[in-house]
Amino acid sequence: MNDPILVTRSSMPPMEEYLEEIKSLWDTRFLTNMGPKHQELQERLKAYLGVQRIDLLTNGHMALELAMQALGLTGEVITTPFTFASTTQAIVRNGLKPVFCDVNPNDYTMDVTKIEELITDKTSAIVPVHVYGNVCDVEQIRRIAEKHHLKVLYDAAHCFGVRYQGRGIGDFGDASCFSFHATKVFHTIEGGAVCFRDERFGETLGALKNFGLRDGIATEVGANAKMNEFCAAMGLCNLRHIDEEITKRKAAVDCYRSHLEGISGISLCPVQKDVVQNYAYFPVAFDREAFGADRDQILQRLSEENVFARKYFYPLTSTFPCYGNQFDPKTTPVALRLSSQILTLPLYAELDCADVDRICELILSCKR
Ligand code: T4K
C-alpha cells in the first residue's frame, strides 16, 4: 500500500532557518505581546499583501470575531453557509444573526443577485467568503453595501497572496480576515490577520486583541488574541519561501486540470479573470448522473487506496445542530447541492505530479 496522501500537508522552512530565526528569543526572553518578530512580520506582510494596514492575531477565527466586534456590527449579517464553521460561529458568538445568502454555481462565492432581497432594517453588514481562494464579486458587493449603508467584512482565510486587478485582496471591504493556520498556503503554525484601512478601527482591534486595554485600562470588552514570537518567527521563514510554495502548488493544480478538465460530470472552478491565484484548494464537483458515481463513492474509493480527500464544505454551516433548526438549507439550494457534490482533492507543495496522476486515475476509474 502507498503512503497515505492527506488533503494537505504543512510546508516547513529548513529547520536550521527556523532555529536561526528563534535564536534571539533566548537572549531577549521577549516571547509574546507584540514583540520584535511580530512587528517585523506585520511590516513584511503589509508589503507582500499590498494592504494599507494589518494586525496579527492568534488565528483566523479570532481575526473574524474581533473584526466583527471592532466594526460594531449589530442585528443581522448576510453571509453564506458554504464555508468552514468559523465564519458562522464568529457571527453567532458576536450575538449577531446570520442571514444566509446562496452562492453562485461557478465559483461558489456569494450570489450577488440574491443579497438585496435579504436586507432588512436590522442588517448591519455583509460577510462574504473568498472560498477556496476564489474572489467574490467585490465591485457589486461594494455597490450594494454603499447603497444600503452596510459594512463589508471579507472572510479571506483562503486568500493569502491573491490579487484582483493588481490589488491585494485584503484591500477590499472595511476589513478582510486571513488565516495563517498550518494547513494554509502561508502559515505561522496558528495565526491570522485582519487587513483594513481605517486607523481608528485598527486602534479598537489592537485593544480588543489585548484584553480591551488601552494604556492599562480596559476601554472595550476584549479577548487575548496576540500572535506570539515563535509563530511570528515561523511566518518570517515561510514568507521567504512563499513564491516557491505557490509555484509548486500551481504545478500540482496544472497536473490535476490536465486530467480532469472537460470530463463529463466533473466541474472545476474556472480560472477567474484579472485574478492572481494562490492555488489554496482544488475543489471538484461531481454530478452523479453525468459521471456515474457520486462524491461519497469517489471519496470511499480514494480512501481504499490511502488517499484522503475531504468534503470541504459539508454539511452547510446553517444545518449545524448548535443552531437548532433555525435555518432552512433549502433557502440556499445551490450551496446545498454543492455541499453534496464537492470533494477537495489533496493539494500541497510537496505533492508531485506522479501522485496527482494516480489520484486522477482512481477518480476516472469510478466513471460509468
Ligand atoms: N474561515 C474559513 C473560510 C476557514 O476555512 C477557516 C479555517 C477559518 C475561517 C478559521 O481560520 P483558523 O482559525 O483555523 O486560522 C482545517 C483547518 O484547521 C482550518 O484552519 C481550515 N479553515 C479548515 C478548512 O481546515 P480541519 O478540521 O479540516 O483540519 P484537520 O486537522 O483535519 O487537518 C486537515 C489536514 O491537514 C490533515 O489531514 C493533515 C493536514 N495537517 C493538519 C494539521 C493540523 C498538516 O499537514 N499539519 C497540521 O498541523 O480544519
The residue among 247 and 1 whose pLDDT is bigger is 247
Say if ligand 1 is within 6 A of residue 7 CB. Answer: yes
Instruction: Please report the pLDDT score of residue 279 as a whole number.
Output: 98
Counting other chains too, the contacts that 197-203 makes at CB distance below 8 Å and 24 or more residues apart are 197/52, 197/53, 197/171, 198/53, 198/174, 199/53, 201/70, 201/71, 201/174, 201/175, 202/53, 202/55
Instruction: Please report the pLDDT score of residue 1 as a whole number.
Output: 76
Nearest atom (ligand 1) to Cα of 10? 46
- Per-residue pLDDT averaged across 322-342, rounded? 97
Residues 202-221: tens digit of each pLDDT = 999 999 999 999 999 999 99
**Cα of 150 to ligand 1 centre, how many Å?**
30
* Cβ contact 177:65 at 8 Å: no
**Cα of 133 to ligand 1 centre, how many Å?**
14
Say if ligand 1 is within 6 A of residue 129 CB. Answer: yes
Say if ligand 1 is within 6 A of residue 133 CB. Answer: no
Residues 127-177: tens digit of each pLDDT = 999 999 999 999 999 999 999 999 999 999 999 999 999 999 999 999 999
Max Cα distance, the chain (Å)? 67
Is the pLDDT reported for residue 262 higher than 80? yes
Nearest atom (ligand 1) to Cα of 313? 24
Three cell numbers, residue 313: 464544505
Please list the alpha-helical segments (H only) found in the chain.
Answer: 15-22, 24-28, 36-49, 60-71, 85-93, 138-148, 199-208, 229-240, 242-260, 288-291, 295-304, 333-341, 353-364
* Cβ contact 231:221 at 8 Å: no
**Strand 151-155 relative to strand 175-179, pairing:** parallel
Work out the mean pLDDT of the chain and round it to a whole number. Answer: 97
- Per-residue pLDDT averaged across 339-359, rounded? 97
- Per-residue pLDDT averaged across 345-355, rounded? 97
Say if ligand 1 is within 6 A of residue 183 CB. Answer: yes
Residue type for position 241: H
Say if ligand 1 is within 6 A of residue 134 CB. Answer: no
3-state secondary structure 190-210: CCEEEEECCHHHHHHHHHHCE
Instruction: Please report the pLDDT score of residue 65 as a whole number.
Output: 98
Is the pLDDT reported for residue 2 higher than 90? no
**Cα of 42 to ligand 1 centre, how many Å?**
22
Q: Which residue has the CA at smallest separation from atom 48 of ligand 1?
A: 182
Residues 100-125: tens digit of each pLDDT = 999 999 999 999 999 999 999 999 99
Among residues 343, 293, 271, 286, which one has the least CA distance to residue 313? 343
Q: Which residue has the CA at smallest separation from atom 20 of ligand 1?
A: 181
* DSSP secondary structure code for residue 312 in this structure: T
**Cα of 183 to ligand 1 centre, how many Å?**
5
Three cell numbers, residue 207: 485593544
Give the span between the Cα atoms of 118 and 136, in whole angstroms: 18
Residues 190-206: tens digit of each pLDDT = 999 999 999 999 999 99
